[in-house]
Structure 1
Amino acid sequence: MSQSTGKSRRWLVDLLLLAALWGASFLFMRIGAAEFGALPTAAVRVTIATLFLLPCLFLARQGPALAQHWKAILLIGVANSGLPFALFCFALLTLSSGLAAVLNATVPMFGALVAWAWFRDRPDNSRLVGLVVGFVGVALLASRSASPHADAAGDAGSAQLLGVVACLGACLSYGVSASATRRYLAGIPSLATATGSQIGATLFLALPAIWLWPKHMPSLHAWLALTALGILCTGVAYILFFRLIAMAGPARALTVTFLVPVFAVFYGAVFLSEPITTWMLMCAAVIVCGVALSTGVVKLPFRRAAVRQA
């Protein structure tokens, strides 16, 4: 086996493993939020991730980089982890894990919009079409959002719609943090950024989590779910993600977005008996097409057509 073939297989293995871990995060968040509540679940997640990443940070000798840029890293950690994790946990109180993961696939679209507004990084025509297609898919999905807990009517329907809005708010927060990282954290070692962001998120969520801590001790099942969420789906996933970027580049790493909902829907159906509706699959296909176009993974032949006419 050639060296290039081996390297290709390694990044593909990392890609699938990362998608499997991030897909499982929606399952674990839903299990944890049911007993801990939204904010305590998010707080426990980032606290465990911090405890896992800190030794890695010092072993890699990237502590000085974190100490030098701690203000920016901690603040961006609120937008990159603290706020979106809390919003997703809140959404998963009423939405299925698969539906939340499908909405999470819009992150690259929000990233493109924020970069356009912040850096005047205007998307080309193909990407603009992708943005429109993607948000049409989200609107269609939100119009008939499905929940395994209740009928989409009355208070239940309003709660589900609020959950969809919370998911989209989390995706927007990810988009803002991506541009903020590009603007303020360029050149800083990735492990320092990852660890510092979890520390910032922990500080941000600590007091609200203590205030809203459940009166009854959550079960061992819920604690195990949050332990896996913090160590595997956050700590290990961060390391895999940055290694994937180093091996395969940002464009290939971005394709993990398309795989995460597949794993999340599968986990939800198998472990939580969540229904998979035809409408949900159709809207997911529209959203994936929009994301593929808006991120440049797939391009429409606008320029080619113009050349032929000339």
Structure 2
Amino acid sequence: MRKSWLPAYLALGTVWGCSFIFIELGLEFLTPFGVTFIRCALGAITLIIISRIRKINLPTDRKVWQKLWVVALLLNVIPGVLFAFAQQYVTSVFASIINAATPLMTLVFILVIFREEKLKREQIFGLLIGALGVMTVVGVWKELGDNQLVGVIALLIAVSCYGASYPYSTRNVIPLKLKPEALAAGQLIMAAITLLPLFLINGISNNSYPRQSVIAMLCLGIFGSGFAYIWNFSITAAAGSAIASSVTYLTPVVAVIVGRLYLGEVIVWHEIFGAIIVILGALLSQGRLNRLVKTK
């Protein structure tokens, strides 16, 4: 019997929901290249240590590393730099809105390119309902005017990479039957190696290192890029790429709540109402509503 993926799903949504504020704080002393490299390097170190403790060997086949490099480009390098770059021009809340479009982009790639993974009707409905909920949570009708077009374009490209990464992993990486720790460590090692030259050229924006910014980068790297990718691979293997990508419906909910608490702002009605819609959409896409109805 498969181990339940729901705890990892909730943990991943929470950690990635906090990542937008961590990125904002990291940009106080790092460039987008610096933020992305540091989070990947810290994540790689974390996963290497975990793998050693659990006596899990990293891959040795060159072809496996090539596939992990592709995943690193799609899931870490390109979107990581673009998200950090975009958050210089858009709010962290808006970034979380665009990030929540990942399941829809995943759906597009599954339907157009990766056709072997069949989607159920309730999954499609759940994803669409979740997208509506996300827009309601953040009050998208009010937020768009506060952001610059260059940031919006960067976010859309980044989310497209995310959308392609899930079905690519399902087709080319998950079948390798490697431990999630080994896959995630290999992915982040390749990402850090790719980003290192860019970091050395232009990684630090100033020589001031605020304590809260340093702590934010430690959390972003260790949890947001370390433990998070173990959970991500585990969810994809257990539940499929469509459900795994729907975790991004939880991230804007977390981002809004944490942002409000951090900034001392009050949560308004549409955020609460939208959160309920998001949860319903996630439950529907996971088939949990049908199970609840059958048990009654």
User: TM-score, with normalisation over the residues of structure 1?
Assistant: 0.73
Task: For residue 119 of structure 1, give the secondary structure of its aligned residue in structure 2.
Answer: coil
Shift of 1:29: 1.1
Out of 82, 97, 103, which is 1:102 matched to?
97
Task: For residue 113 of structure 2, give the secondary structure of its aligned residue in structure 1.
Answer: helix
Amino acid at match of 2:88: L
Counterpart in 1 of 2:19? 25
Correspondence 1:84-163 to 2 at 5 A? 84-120=79-115, 144-145=142-143, 152=145, 159=148, 161-163=149-151
Counterpart in 1 of 2:293? none
TM-aligned CA distance change 1:142 to 1:32, over 3 Å: same
TM-aligned CA distance change 1:254 to 1:74, over 3 Å: closer
Farther-moved stretch of structure 1 (217-226 vs 269-278)? 269-278
1:33/1:90 contact within 8 Å kept: no
1:106/1:287 contact within 8 Å kept: no
Farther-moved stretch of structure 1 (40-49 vs 22-31)? 22-31
Shift of 1:45: 0.5
Higher radius of gyration, 1 or 2: 1
TM-aligned CA distance change 1:297 to 1:96, over 3 Å: farther
TM-aligned CA distance change 1:16 to 1:287, over 3 Å: closer
Task: Give 5+ residue unaligned stretches, structure 1.
Answer: 147-151, 300-310
Counterpart in 2 of 1:305? none
How far apart are the structure 1 equivalents of 2:91 and 2:253? 13
Shift of 1:180: 2.2
How far apart are the structure 2 equivalents of 1:204 and 1:198? 10
How far apart are the structure 1 equivalents of 2:96 and 2:182? 27
How far apart are the structure 2 equivalents of 1:138 and 1:240? 22
How far apart are the structure 1 equivalents of 2:251 and 2:9? 10
TM-aligned CA distance change 1:86 to 1:290, over 3 Å: farther
Counterpart in 2 of 1:207? 197
1:26/1:101 contact within 8 Å kept: yes
Counterpart in 2 of 1:231? 222
Counterpart in 2 of 1:198? 188
Task: For residue 17 of structure 2, give the secondary structure of its aligned residue in structure 1.
Answer: helix
Out of 39, 45, 55, which is 1:45 matched to?
39
RMSD between superposed Cα atoms in Å: 3.7
CA deviations 1:250-269 (Å, max 9, x no partner) are: 47655533322221111111
TM-aligned CA distance change 1:165 to 1:227, over 3 Å: same
How far apart are the structure 2 equivalents of 1:228 and 1:132? 31
Task: Give 5+ residue unaligned stretches, structure 2.
Answer: 290-296
User: TM-score, with normalisation over the residues of structure 2?
Assistant: 0.76
Amino acid at match of 1:62: N
Shift of 1:196: 1.5
Out of 58, 62, 65, which is 1:63 matched to?
58
TM-aligned CA distance change 1:123 to 1:241, over 3 Å: closer
1:39/1:86 contact within 8 Å kept: yes
How far apart are the structure 2 equivalents of 1:54 and 1:19? 23
Task: For residue 34 of structure 1, give the secondary structure of its aligned residue in structure 2.
Answer: coil
How far apart are the structure 1 equivalents of 2:135 and 2:250? 21
TM-aligned CA distance change 1:113 to 1:230, over 3 Å: same
